Chain A
Amino acid sequence: MPPAISSTVDPLDESRLKVLKGAYSYGSISDKISDIVLTRPTHWGWIAGFAFCSALTVLFVAAIAYLFYKGVGIWGVDIPVAWAFAITNFVWWVGIGHAGTFISAFLLLLRQKWRTSINRFAEAMTIFAVAMAGLMPILHLGRPWFFYWLTPYPDIMNLWPQWRSPLVWDIFAIGTYIIVSILFWYMGLIPDLATLRDRAAGRASQIMYGLAALGWRGEARQWHRFDTAYLLMAGLATPLVISVHSVVSLDFAIGNTPGWHSTIFPPYFVAGALFSGFAMALTISIPLRAIFGLKDFITARHLDNIAKIMLVCGLLVAYSYGVEIFMAFYSADQFEEYMIMNRMIGPYAPIYWIVILFNVIIPQCLWFKRVRLSVPTLFALSIIVNVGMWLERFMIIVTSLHRDFLPSSWGMFYPTFWDWAILLGSVGAFGWLFLMFVRFLPAISISEMRKLAHDKKGGDL
């Protein structure tokens, strides 16, 4: 065989590479991201967050166990307000998931290179948020062990789903959404799992990552097929994400309840979903970059861009609020008019005005560059928008139900301890899953970051 020859070019001389902030080579990018998973000692911030989220997850499990034992009567729901926290949580969590798909799919189609360092954890956010969302209607079923009756399968009762019901569309939309999100996320992970396989020191992690990498070799033809499939999946996920929240909104809009029966609901819900989703992307990325030292990869530019998208979505949501009010009075329908007045000055009026303050007025400070570049302010704003969007869904659901057509059947909803336990517990379980994810899988796409380093070298960044 020919002798091994050494080249005069030093392959590690990649100092000409500059990626976003700082100088990174293909090798140092790979090491920096994979070391978070493989070698770096666990940060105290991670341990503290994990302990906190574990405690809330225990609360979540306990609340679910008690719910299954006693039934939905442990919640504050009753007639007339039969939908409250669980459905609010459902819409809120699905909405949060949408920003992840928007970042990873829609921004890919638009060739927005800044998505590269945030798409992986945004997709993880999607999967865990949709997992929390998917639980909520099941918990609300009363007989949750029969949830599979919503799916079409040939059963001995000779029953089929009612295809004209948006609740059946919902299970198709959410089911497709979670499957496609997992496929898209896992596919993007395959080359990175191969990197972890090749860099892992322990036998157990070599086998684990090796099996998960499915034998990926990084051969040119494999990359070619991978790129095509990835792009097509992005093209499929983009209309999917719009359809999912549109179908969620039809759960309401198909009913003739005042305040629900409105054609603006699908775009209104999609805009609200992206608004809260981008807020959650900020809530997650700000501690993530601080704890794992990723400020070179998730830079001020990313936060600035997310903040701008939040501002746009917030304006769309504000417009929808305006149209709701206008249409109620333009319709001259006394129930629609009363619904709006009841929201503004009725028993739930404080919630309405907090929603306006949190979702319409406070986000306007995102017009100022100084606000968009201040990390603590952005973090505070993201929490405010998350809370505001949860309250918006609560407002839509509860104010419409509690006073509809017949004053003799009016009533009030008051949450119980178990309502709060399910909401806070789901937040904890979401955080728990996310923290596990950043500990065991690369939170930033390594192969796409190498490509970014390459593009930067070409000078088009």
Chain B
Amino acid sequence: MSSDPLYGLIAEFGDEKALVHAAKRARADGYRRIDAYAPFSVDGLSDALGFRHDRIALTTLIGGIAGGAGGYFLQWYTAVIDYPINSGGRPLHSWPAFIPATFEMIVLGAALAAFLGMLILNGLPQLHHPIFNAPEFDLASRNRFFLCIECADPKFERHTTGEFLTNLQPLKVAEVRR
């Protein structure tokens, strides 16, 4: 597959409604390796591609639990086991005083997990991607909307897929080379 110089076929649309419609049509037609590009978060677009569970919430939860548990353990271990010091007669394990730093560590762990989870699951950072070879793709971050059907799709066939995209009445259909 990597020897194939073609990455896929791309159709360019003028507004978000046309893109959502096209994505739904492509999925209904049996295509599975479809990517939709938009300059802002379009409601219902990822749904139209059949993408629902992004796993970010779970990642964030795990990060928060790890941060909180780690933060509390650090305080307990250092104050009770490794460096027990009598501070005004308070118990060594004076848990109410450990809450503020534990809370901050929960937030820090969860925020780091949300941020890094978003990047890693999105495959970022990435120095290059074939989609950037598509003509006019620089407008994907301005005001144009793109739908790409990848060659890797089992149903992909250059001629019929091209006709399918043309029938969606895009502004333009083009090849994306690797």
Contact = CB atoms under 8 A, between A and B. Distances in A.
A459 interface: no
Interface in A25-70: 25-27, 30-31
Contacts of A197: 141
A226 B111 contact: no
A227 B119 CA distance: 12
B158 A1 contact: yes
Contacts of A184: 111
Contacts, number: 227
A197 B127 CA distance: 13
A314 interface: no
B26 interface: no
Contact of B41 (A26, A226, A233, A236): A226
A195 B75 contact: no
A261 interface: no
Interface in B32-59: 35-42, 45-46, 48-49, 51, 54, 56-57
B140 interface: yes
B105 A2 contact: no
B15 interface: yes
Contacts of B42: 220, 223, 454
B100 A172 contact: yes
Contacts of B119: 214
B172 A159 contact: no
A224 B143 CA distance: 19
A221 B83 contact: no
Interface string B99-115: 01101110110111011
A236 B110 contact: yes
B175 A228 contact: no
Nearest to A4: B172
Most B CB within 10 A of own CB, among A25, A218, A220, A226: A220
B131 interface: yes
B169 A187 contact: no
Given A158-B83, A215-B129, A229-B118, A183 B124 contact: no
Determine the main DSSP class of A at the interface with B. helix
Interface string A189-227: 001001101110000000000000011111111111111
A406 interface: no
A243 B107 CA distance: 10
A199 B143 CA distance: 12
A215 B143 contact: no
Nearest to B88: A164
Contacts of B132: 217
Contact of A233 (B115, B127, B131): B115
Interface residues of B, number: 81
A229 B124 CA distance: 14
B1 interface: no
A160 B83 contact: yes
Interface in A131-177: 152, 158-164, 166, 168-169, 172-173, 175-176
Interface stretch (A5-13, A90-98, A305-313, A338-346): A5-13
B112 to A, nearest CB: 7
A226 B122 contact: yes
Given A11-B144, A195-B141, A220-B45, A164 B94 contact: yes
Contacts of A224: 41, 46, 51, 54
Contact of B38 (A10, A160, A199, A223): A223
B76 to A, nearest CB: 9
Given A4-B172, A220-B46, A229-B60, A215 B141 contact: no
Nearest to A152: B74
B3 interface: no
Nearest to B90: A164
Contacts of B2: none
A197 B105 CA distance: 35
Nearest to B172: A4
Interface of A: 1-2, 4-7, 9-11, 14, 25-27, 30-31, 152, 158-164, 166, 168-169, 172-173, 175-176, 179-180, 183-184, 187, 191, 194-195, 197-199, 214-229, 232-233, 236-237, 239-240, 243, 247, 250, 447-448, 450-451, 454
Given A217-B140, A222-B122, 20 more contacts: A1-B175, A2-B163, A6-B172, A7-B172, A11-B171, A27-B142, A30-B143, A161-B78, A163-B94, A164-B97, A169-B101, A175-B104, A176-B107, A199-B142, A225-B54, A226-B122, A232-B57, A232-B114, A236-B107, A447-B39
13 contacts: A4-B172, A5-B170, A30-B142, A183-B115, A198-B142, A220-B51, A224-B54, A225-B117, A228-B54, A228-B57, A250-B100, A447-B39, A447-B41
